Structure 1
């Protein structure tokens, strides 16, 4: 009896000590270790990257963040609007992470702007986007950063669709407040990429007058958020007052401009060049047709610019286009044609970048290129050349003739799968030598007298300090139709194309903090097995479709030849022959279409089979694990109970013997 009472007292004591220990542990965790957090997400969505932490460590003065969120209005709104509450909680959690790493230099204030209040007036004055829910209720969801020096920057609206880029947007906001002085980027291009800023009033006035109004490309407007953009046009005598030079589609540049570029690099300048074997975006609409027919190729670089690239150790393969059937994207040649895989339209994922582990491409999951070119490295003493962007191992090169541009589907059968990646992006650094050892002769024409004079310019023969040149073999990837998309909030990034350009410029400028934050993107959880099945089915489908189209083309050609032979004497015979051929072709097309349906069905069934396996695993495997664990736990408890009974019996036997 005493043993039972003693055991009962021990149990009560253990429970009491357990409760006290738990309470003490919670108190210690909430006071001493409140900053200790574990982020179990693959993307690290609740943690800050090294770039953000490095930027916060540079904060040496207080910075206030004012988060405006109309929570009351959202709760009164539709179900879709109330869903923003979850995103608001996520934004708040990320802001708390920024505060925790700011060494008490960052504060966050949460404001729910109600109608007819000072908070609402402030939100409107800061320029935050507002949405009318009712006649009186307005919805705000934005952030304002204020420094003691008077700098003020805003995020007009938090879009839940840009969740992956939230940390970058906030870091960019803080960076813009800390660094109001922007670095200067010079843009040199024969394309109308950079235009003078026009006020809305002037734009409306020009439109009313019927005057042509050209705007800068959207990528330029994005560049202006971080840098001061200086338009050098297509001709310049000297290049100065800029940190980095961006050359887009170098073709038709004068010797004077080429010499200025050469000297800029030799002086330690940083250069980014975008070339293209066929710049679709910049192709002139009124260009004369090619001798072979069709639109001529809009190729860069030309022979003059190639001489500069030779000194940098980077060679643009002439007439070669980079292709990869496993990275090809679906598209339409026209609105009447069915979707098909187009070899020129390449969507690069981590397979294009992960082998190089370069900070410029780290974290980029979706890059869209159109008719990209191929690059090769050549050995230059004192110069190091590295690749940072390529196709997959199955990539190869193919040729394009002008008359083939009207139908990109024909390139599919022209290219065979390769065994080594085709490089599309290279960087070169070191001490370069000039491409103009004898200088350059400049011809000047006087505007008044029309007299021409010549002048010989000489400069540096070799760079005295390291310079950097980056070359990407595509121009179209920064164009609006390939890099941006229109949403109800305006123009926004459609993929990682703009990120690649910004990353490269910031790497050249030495600003690695923002670059490392931008590289932190979503994790691509695509099923490669399913993608491979769909790809093989598409390849077979494409082959059958081309066979059908080829038969139709041959039939039309035969009918044309028969019609040429027709006259009054053999008209009936020709018509009868044409009818027979048409029936034979119809039967053949029906058989081919049946095979086409079979190929599609087999591919679909294989994908569905894989899906059923995953469904089986999800629905049966986890319950099976729970059952096995339950059986083991039951067995463990029974065994423990048996041991306790045997121990108690042995104790009683010992007591009786004593």
Structure 2
């Protein structure tokens, strides 16, 4: 046999052996590494958080999870099938990490079957598909050994960022004998109200429902003189003109170890005017809230007449339907750089939106410590709340805005030994100072809790669908969780999200907005000057005799000059916008090239280098 034939035989045999080894390796790895995963995502999106694993370790009794998914009905919905795979994989991971404490059953309920009846009995939502009569189940039911039940009626794909948290919350709720008791004292209609004119109830804020899902929330009147001892935490929202007796009740609650989350505001936009109040009078009403005696005793500085402005964090609002959006210096979108990464309440939250917020500081000689949880950028200043409340045009705030370079604490944690704000009082149970280290969280804005700043509410087949576009709700829930000592769910909630902020694009837009504003001011200044000149010139105007104005040549020339100048500046404005679009498109093209072509090019270069290196070795071997 020739050498060539021998080499071909050896090569064929080698390839066959490699193929067999490859198949064997695949089968062996599928058996030995079943369930094993390597998560290479930058934020560990496919790895259970420490909080979820802690909840699973602490389970005191078994939990059964019933995942109802109509796989047959969803055969023509690829997006939903992809998300269903993601949900099932996460549930399987949770069951695998639970040490046998979580039992998972996956059920495809067929029409008119017992499984469908059982899913309906759990309260899962059956979504009709088309006109064929098919229905789709895509929810989770959990049970424990004491007949406790908890459900996720329908997994919403747009809530994927909260998927692990929702499942962990369901498991945690089944393991708790009793939910913690939280008191809610509010001067705003958080829990809903009644519209006498329409004759129907007004739904409560979303945050009220979220709190009630996790805790036993009990209403505490703003006139209360005692705080029940069974309450582990007290949430106070917009404490406006509270009596000394009510303030004393809060004071003693905190000193004896109760946890306080207080939302005050220099301008609570959500405050509704009294029924029958004249709209003009309502505009002048003071909407500030404060805890003056408590803050003074605790060494907290807070001015209810000051609002924080921030040019770096200002959000765009549309003040009028016929006008383009403008940036409002008092409506702020706080990002990761503004949220304390070392505190479980604020760590890894994406965005927190606030509106006409105040700020906190620590007085000289204070015994407690004040740690910011959320703060403005350094490009910030303050303004009287009255000016913002009476503001006709948000852009006017830019006219005399001068940043101080200070970062203002919009929310903060107060901890340490606190003294009573009522040293002259006495009696059974009276405390002059805290028995232990006090823990209080202060927020200088109440509007952040309102739906408009963080969540969209829509109807989906008769159910309310919540789409959170900011982390305001997470911030509030995190704060209550932390105050009552539950940190496991916080660890789940504060994991990273799968979306990324386009910081470079945002910077380009802000730079262009600044150039636009300069040009607009230039145009407005020229307009005012021209109008002044026209007024002077028209003092000598002619008259046609029938009441119409007759512009003389000088006036006509002045008017024509202004119109030409106005056209020139508008052209420059269009050029600025065109340049901005070109910058963004160029950036987008670069990113597309890197994402689409970059990796194949790298792999091609590596492969060619390997081929050339192998060919060179063969040539050297032949020599």
Instruction: Tell me the TM-score normalised to structure 1 length.
Output: 0.84
Unaligned runs of 5+ in 1: 197-202, 441-455, 647-658
The secondary structure found in structure 2 opposite 1:109 is strand
- Could you tell me how far 1:594 is from its partner in structure 2? 2.3
- Could you tell me how far 1:497 is from its partner in structure 2? 0.9
Deviations 1:543-571 (A, max 9, x none): 33344456667777898999999999999
1:600 aligns with 2:577: yes
1:371 aligns with 2:369: no
Relative to structure 2, which stretch is displaced further, 121-130 or 158-167? 121-130
Task: For 1:335 and 1:561, locate their aligned partners in 2 and report how far apart those are by CA, in whole Å.
Answer: 35
Aligned to 1:628: 605
Compared CA separation, residues 438 and 621, structure 1 to 2 (3 A): same
- Could you tell me how far 1:14 is from its partner in structure 2? 6.4
- Please show how residues 548-567 of structure 1 align to structure 2 within 5 Å: 548-549=523-524
Compared CA separation, residues 233 and 297, structure 1 to 2 (3 A): same
Task: For 1:331 and 1:521, locate their aligned partners in 2 and report how far apart those are by CA, in whole Å.
Answer: 27
Task: For 1:606 and 1:644, locate their aligned partners in 2 and report how far apart those are by CA, in whole Å.
Answer: 54
1:91 aligns with 2:62: no
Aligned to 1:227: 215
Deviations 1:279-314 (A, max 9, x none): 1111526667899x954441121xxx2221133333
- Please show how residues 469-548 of structure 1 align to structure 2 within 5 Å: 469-489=440-460, 490-492=464-466, 493-548=468-523
Deviations 1:358-382 (A, max 9, x none): 1111221121111121221235554
Aligned to 2:154: 157
The secondary structure found in structure 2 opposite 1:83 is helix
Aligned to 2:247: 258
- Could you tell me how far 1:316 is from its partner in structure 2? 1.6
Give the paired residue count: 613
Alignment counterpart, residue 397 of structure 1, candidates 382, 395, 415: 382
The secondary structure found in structure 1 opposite 2:372 is strand
The secondary structure found in structure 1 opposite 2:247 is helix
- Could you tell me how far 1:168 is from its partner in structure 2? 0.6
1:267 aligns with 2:256: yes
Task: For 2:49 and 2:163, locate their aligned partners in 1 and report how far apart those are by CA, in whole Å.
Answer: 12
Q: Is the 8 A contact 1:370 1:477 kept in 2?
A: yes
1:137 aligns with 2:134: yes
The secondary structure found in structure 2 opposite 1:599 is helix
Relative to structure 2, which stretch is displaced further, 473-482 or 554-563? 554-563
1:589 aligns with 2:591: no
- Please show how residues 423-438 of structure 1 align to structure 2 within 5 Å: 423-438=409-424
Compared CA separation, residues 111 and 574, structure 1 to 2 (3 A): same
Task: For 2:596 and 2:213, locate their aligned partners in 1 and report how far apart those are by CA, in whole Å.
Answer: 49
Relative to structure 2, which stretch is displaced further, 10-19 or 514-523? 10-19
Unaligned runs of 5+ in 2: none
Compared CA separation, residues 491 and 83, structure 1 to 2 (3 A): closer
1:43 aligns with 2:39: no
- Could you tell me how far 1:619 is from its partner in structure 2? 5.9
Compared CA separation, residues 506 and 165, structure 1 to 2 (3 A): same
- Could you tell me how far 1:223 is from its partner in structure 2? 0.8
- Could you tell me how far 1:231 is from its partner in structure 2? 1.2
Task: For 2:417 and 2:191, locate their aligned partners in 1 and report how far apart those are by CA, in whole Å.
Answer: 31
Compared CA separation, residues 19 and 408, structure 1 to 2 (3 A): same
Compared CA separation, residues 243 and 568, structure 1 to 2 (3 A): same
Alignment counterpart, residue 213 of structure 1, candidates 201, 217, 222: 201
Relative to structure 2, which stretch is displaced further, 268-277 or 539-548? 539-548
Q: Is the 8 A contact 2:289 2:304 kept in 1?
A: no
- Could you tell me how far 1:614 is from its partner in structure 2? 3.2
Q: Is the 8 A contact 1:263 1:459 kept in 2?
A: yes
- Could you tell me how far 1:124 is from its partner in structure 2? 1.4
- Please show how residues 59-70 of structure 1 align to structure 2 within 5 Å: 59-70=59-70
Aligned to 1:614: 591
The alignment yields a C-alpha RMSD, in angstroms, of 3.5
Aligned to 2:299: 313
Relative to structure 2, which stretch is displaced further, 596-605 or 474-483? 596-605
Task: For 2:182 and 2:534, locate their aligned partners in 1 and report how far apart those are by CA, in whole Å.
Answer: 61
Q: Is the 8 A contact 2:350 2:471 kept in 1?
A: yes
Compared CA separation, residues 486 and 545, structure 1 to 2 (3 A): farther
The secondary structure found in structure 2 opposite 1:225 is helix
The secondary structure found in structure 2 opposite 1:213 is strand
